Amino acid sequence: MKNSQPADTDHFRWDGDKLTLHCSIQANSSEDRIVGLVAGLIKIRLTAAPVDGKANKHLIKYLSKQFDVKRSAITILRGHGSRQKSLCIENPESIPNELGIGSRS
């Protein structure tokens, strides 16, 4: 029987120096904040509206500060028009504690 509970690491994956994150985005929030792990995804609140790519641009800008990388180091892999997104962050210099992610193995 397959376990229906997500593994503790389903929300992220290291591939060399690249960190892939699986996120749930809440746009039009009152603050920009990484909430933490919710239902197997990293929940992130953003103040930007989900219109004309504004939330995606704001997400990349916000995460670049959180991970101490250039904006060009962050790529949305899946979910450009969705609340659920997969992101790739190349060579993150720091990792927010809210994510519960250890350093590279």
d(CA 52, CA 101) in angstroms, rounded, equals 31
Report pLDDT for 99.
86
Does a structural domain hold residue 2?
Answer: no
Compute the Cα dihedral for 20, 39, 78, 87 and give only its sign: negative
Domain that holds residue 20: 12-94
Q: What is the CATH number of the domain that holds 82?
A: 3.30.1200.10
Whether 103 is covered by a domain: the verdict is no
| 34 close to 96: Cβ distance less than 8 angstroms | yes
Residues of the chain with pLDDT under 50: 1-6
Determine, yes or no, domain membership for 90. yes
Q: Is 83 inside any structural domain? A: yes
Residue 100: the pLDDT is 77
Residue at 7 is within a domain = no
44: closest CA among 67, 26, 60? 26
Nearest to 79 by CA among 22, 19, 12: 22
